[in-house]
Amino acid sequence: MPGVTLLVLAAGIGRRYGGLKQIDPVGPAGETILDYSLYDALAAGFTRIVFVIRREIEEIFRRTVGRYWESRIAVAYVYQEIEAALPPGFSVPADRAKPWGTAHAVLVGRSAVEGPFAVINADDFYGQDSFRKIGSWLGRKDPTGRPDEHCFVGYRLANTLSDFGHVSRGICRLDKQGYLAEIVERLWIEKHDHGGRARDENGRWIDLPGKTIVSMNLWGFQPSFFDHLDRGFAAFLESSGREIDSEYFIPFAVNELIRTGKARVRYLPTAERWFGVTYPQDLASARSRIQEMIRKGLYPEKIRD
C-alpha cells in the first residue's frame, strides 16, 4: 500500500524576489524554508518527497537541499518544462517562455506519485500544525472511501500577509458542512487596516477582513485528481494556451471540480502564521521568526546534522 507523498513546487523563478528564494538560507546552519517544511512533513508521517524543479536549477537545488533529504526519505525529481504533459496535437507558441502554472506543475509530478499526496510551495513556511492535520487526513486507512474527496489547509488572511508588498492568495468561501464552495485567486493583496485589500479584475480595491480564509497552496489530493487535471489542462490550453502569460492555477482546477459536483474539498483550519520570502526584505524577518521558534524549542538548533 503506498504511503503519503509530499509534492513540492520548487520550479519558481522568483521575479519579485530577484533570485532563487527556494534555496536561500534562513536557519542558523544554512537551512532553507523548505528544510523546515520537510522536517515537519517527516514528523507528520509523510513517506516520500517529489520535487518539481527546472532542469537549469537541478545541480544547485540537489546540492543545497535535495542531497541531504535523499538519505532520510524516498526522493524523486520531476521537471516542469513548457513541453511537459502537453495533450496530443498541441504545440507550444513560439513566444512562450515559461511553463503553465501551479496546476501544470502538479500534473508534471504524476509519474512520480502513488497514492494520496499533499502539495506545497517550496518558499512558504506552513507550520507544524498544518502538516500534522493534512498528514493525518491523507494517511487515514479509509479516507471516507471516496476517491473524489480532497482537502486543503486554510489560513486566516491576517496571518499570511507581507509587510513589504502585495502577495497572491486564494480567497476561500465555505459551505455549511465545512467544504470549499469556491476559491478565487487574487494576485494583488496587501495589508490594509485590520486585514487586507485586493484588486479585482477591474483594478478596484476590495476590502478583506483579517479572518478571511485563504489558501496557501497546501492541498491534499487523492490520485483521482490527476485525471481531472489531464482534462482541465487540455481545456485550458484550448481556450488560453496561445496567450503568452496565461497560467493554469490549482484553484482553477479545484473550482471546476466543485462547480460540476465531481468532488468535495474539506477545509482543515489552522492558526499557524505563514511567512515566506516574496520580497528581498522578507528574508531578515524569516530568519528572525526561525530563531524565535528555535528558542521556543519547536525546532532544533540544526536540522541538518
Q: What is the DSSP string of the chain?
A: ----EEEEE-----TTTTS-GGG-B-STTS-BHHHHHHHHHHHTT--EEEEEE-GGGHHHHIIIIIHHHHTTSEEEEEE--TTTTPPTT----TT--S---HHHHHHHGGGG--S-EEEEETTEE--HHHHHHHHHHHT-SSSTT-TTEEEEEEEEGGGS--SSS-EEEEEEEE-TTSBEEEEEEEEEEEEETTEEEEE-TTS-EEEE-TT-EEEEEEEEE-THHHHHHHHHHHHHHHHHTTSTT----HHHHHHHHHHTTS-EEEEEE--PPPEE-SSTTHHHHHHHHHHHHHHTTSS-S-S--
Neighbours of 293 (CB within 10 A): 16
Question: Are the C-beta atoms of residues 275 and 285 closer than 8 Å to each other?
Answer: yes
Which of 23 and 298 is assigned the larger pLDDT? 298
Given this model, what pLDDT does residue 163 score? 87
Question: Are the C-beta atoms of residues 223 and 109 closer than 8 Å to each other?
Answer: no
Given this model, what pLDDT does residue 1 score? 42
Given this model, what pLDDT does residue 24 score? 85
Share of the chain above pLDDT 90, in %: 78
pLDDT value at 13 more than 80: no
151-185 as b/e: b if 16+ CB within 10 A = bbbbbbbbbbbbeeebbebbbbebeeeebbeebeb
How many angstroms separate the CA atoms of 231 and 127, rounded? Answer: 33
Amino acid code (one letter) for 159: N
pLDDT value at 293 more than 80: yes
pLDDT value at 184 more than 90: yes
Given this model, what pLDDT does residue 202 score? 86
Given this model, what pLDDT does residue 277 score? 82
How much is the mean pLDDT over the chain? 91
**pLDDT tens digits for 95-152?**
998 999 999 999 999 999 989 999 999 999 999 999 999 999 999 865 455 778 999 9
Which domains does the chain show, CATH number per domain?
5-295 (3.90.550.10)
Given this model, what pLDDT does residue 141 score? 63
pLDDT value at 16 more than 50: no
pLDDT value at 15 more than 60: no
**pLDDT tens digits for 48-92?**
999 999 999 999 999 999 999 999 999 999 999 999 999 999 999
Q: Cα 230 from chain centroid? A: 19
Q: How confident is the model at residue 235 (pLDDT cuts 50, 70, 90)?
A: very high
Question: Are the C-beta atoms of residues 185 and 245 closer than 8 Å to each other?
Answer: no
pTM of the model: 0.93
Share of the chain above pLDDT 70, in %: 94
Given this model, what pLDDT does residue 115 score? 92
How many angstroms separate the CA atoms of 176 and 189, rounded? Answer: 26
Given this model, what pLDDT does residue 250 score? 96
Span 244-260, average pLDDT: 95
Span 259-278, average pLDDT: 93
Given this model, what pLDDT does residue 232 score? 96
Residue bearing cell 491576517 = 158
pLDDT value at 23 more than 60: yes
Given this model, what pLDDT does residue 20 score? 62
